[in-house]
């Protein structure tokens, strides 16, 4: 049987009857709804794969959300650029306090404060055992890989809510040993659920090391996290490219060089910075809604970033691609783009012997190490990405502000537990 007791952070001693959450209604529309309080069984609902309905989750925990963030990946759905169904509860960046534990949970207890990787992993399949937790074989009946509150990811309910169910909790949850210390750094630690490991993964897979020169395409939160990750790995120069002047200013605030791609191909501006028109490592933190460079910057051209990176990365170099690409895009610029089929200059990539790494970041491969870097003041990721706490009710307005290009990472604080 599951157990519920009082919670150290919340002081609550009873199970709530409801649960408020942020839901996608349709293109450009989100709202805060009242949904069911989670139980240890996956129930039918928007986006839930029929094969997952009724799935028992005795290995799970129920969290009271302390922080849950708005992600650029959520924005793709909210813009109507995926096949997400109406009323899908959003949110895959989850940090919270355990208020209930399932009967099969062994190593976690009520009151623990934990970070939850956005990708759900069973810990039992071949891929999980090989640390490829982004492509777990057992949590999504449609394809390898799953996530909370995301289209085609199995239907696990999202975490932009007051409470959320986390399956396979012993494997998935990263516990913070000192809760007081963690709450002091919660705006940094909340980034461990996704964007900090994702950006860091982009830098690692791009081969960044001591003395590297790096170009990061995109100055949104993941791009900025990739830049911070590249610095942490010892890069000599990190260059960030974007169209948004305010986001480029944020990149400069922690020591990055910048490129305004509205002024043309990054190659010429990179040469002005480095003396040569190429870098050792390229990172795509833009994804499938990329726009052209120079005079074409107002026009969507989904292969622009990938083709540009192949051109400016040195022969024998590598591209890390944390930016999201999808297999179904109703708003694609042509029929091919609507299927995720892009016109890549693969001949250049082949001729230059470039390496490519795509797909979900395996968060558990990195999150403990990055936690230690945060706790021991080696990095200030919250400051770099502009972490901005908001209430649950402010989430719809924050989605609109983020979509307009605000240089911020919005952190939803459903229970008013974060110091402002």
Q: Where are the domains of the chain?
A: 3-194+362-412, 195-357
Record the tokens describing residue 368, joined without a space: 């403990």
Per-residue CA distances from 415 to 21, 32, 109 (Å): 12, 14, 20
Per-residue CA distances from 392 to 147, 162, 163, 326, 397 (Å): 21, 8, 12, 28, 10
Question: Residue 3 has what pLDDT?
Answer: 40
Question: Residue 384 has what pLDDT?
Answer: 97
Per-residue CA distances from 271 to 46, 203, 239 (Å): 49, 21, 11
- The domain defined by 3-194+362-412 folds into Quinone Oxidoreductase; Chain A, domain 1 (3.90.180)
Q: What is the pLDDT along the chain (420 residues), one digit of tens a residue?
A: 344 433 456 444 467 778 999 999 999 999 999 999 999 999 999 999 999 999 999 999 999 999 999 999 999 999 999 999 999 999 999 999 999 999 999 999 999 999 999 999 999 999 999 999 999 999 999 999 999 999 999 999 999 999 999 999 999 999 999 999 999 999 999 999 999 999 999 999 999 999 999 999 999 999 999 999 999 999 999 999 999 999 999 999 999 999 999 998 899 999 999 999 999 999 999 988 888 888 877 788 888 999 999 999 999 999 999 998 988 888 888 898 888 888 899 999 999 999 999 999 999 999 999 999 999 999 999 999 999 999 999 999 999 999 999 999 999 999 999 987
Question: Residue 265 has what pLDDT?
Answer: 86
Model pTM score: 0.94
Q: Which CATH architecture has domain 195-357?
A: 3-Layer(aba) Sandwich (3.40)
Helix (H, G, I), strand (E, B) or coil at 59: coil
Please, are residues 134 and 118 in contact by the beta-carbon 8 Å criterion?
no
Burial-class residue 200 by CB neighbours within 10 Å (0-12, 13-18, 19+).
buried
**How is 263-288 classified by DSSP, letter by letter?**
GS-HHHHHHHHHSSS-EEEEEE-S-T
**Cβ count within 10 A of residue 309:** 28
Helical pair 195-205 and 221-232, crossing angle rounded to 10 deg: 60
What CA–CA distance (Å, rounded) separates 6 from 101?
A: 12
Question: Residue 16 has what pLDDT?
Answer: 78
């Amino acid at each position: 049987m599951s157990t519920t007791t009082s919670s150290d952070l919340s002081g609550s001693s009873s199970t709530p009857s409801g649960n408020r959450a942020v839901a996608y209604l349709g293109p450009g529309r989100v709202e805060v709804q009242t949904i069911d309080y989670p139980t240890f069984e996956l129930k039918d609902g928007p986006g839930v794969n029929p094969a997952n309905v009724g799935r028992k989750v005795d290995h799970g925990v129920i969290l009271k959300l302390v922080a849950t963030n708005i992600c650029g990946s959520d924005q793709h759905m909210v813009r109507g650029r995926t096949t997400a169904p109406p009323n899908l509860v959003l949110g895959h960046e989850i940090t919270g306090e355990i208020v209930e534990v399932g009967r099969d949970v062994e190593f976690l207890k009520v009151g623990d404060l934990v970070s939850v990787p956005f990708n759900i992993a069973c810990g039992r399949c071949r891929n999980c055992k090989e640390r490829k937790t982004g492509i777990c074989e057992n949590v999504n009946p449609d394809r390898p890989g799953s996530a909370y509150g995301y289209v085609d990811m199995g239907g696990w309910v999202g975490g932009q809510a007051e409470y959320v169910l986390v399956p396979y909790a012993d494997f998935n949850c990263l516990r913070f040993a000192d809760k007081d210390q963690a709450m002091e750094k919660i705006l940094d630690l909340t980034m461990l659920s996704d964007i900090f490991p994702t950006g860091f993964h982009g830098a690692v897979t791009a081969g960044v090391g001591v003395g590297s020169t790096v170009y990061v395409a995109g100055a949104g939160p993941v791009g900025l996290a990739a830049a911070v990750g590249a610095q942490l790995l010892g890069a000599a120069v990190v260059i960030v490219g974007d169209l948004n002047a305010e986001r480029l200013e944020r990149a400069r605030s922690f020591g990055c060089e910048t490129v305004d791609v509205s002024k043309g191909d990054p190659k010429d501006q990179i040469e002005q910075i480095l003396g040569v028109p190429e870098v050792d490592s390229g990172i795509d933190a833009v994804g499938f809604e990329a726009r052209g460079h120079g005079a074409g910057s107002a026009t969507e051209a989904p292969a622009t970033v990938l083709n540009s990176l192949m051109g400016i990365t040195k022969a024998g170099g590598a591209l890390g691609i944390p930016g999201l690409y999808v297999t179904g895009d109703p708003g694609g610029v042509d029929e091919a783009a609507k299927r995720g089929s892009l016109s890549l200059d693969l001949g250049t990539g082949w001729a230059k012997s470039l390496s490519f790494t795509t797909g979900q970041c395996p968060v558990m491969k990195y999150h403990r190490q990055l936690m230690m870097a945060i706790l021991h003041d080696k990095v200030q990721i919250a400051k770099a990405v502009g972490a901005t706490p908001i209430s649950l009710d402010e989430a719809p307005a924050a989605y609109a502000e983020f979509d307009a290009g605000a240089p911020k990472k919005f952190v939803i604080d459903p229970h008013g537990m974060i110091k402002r």
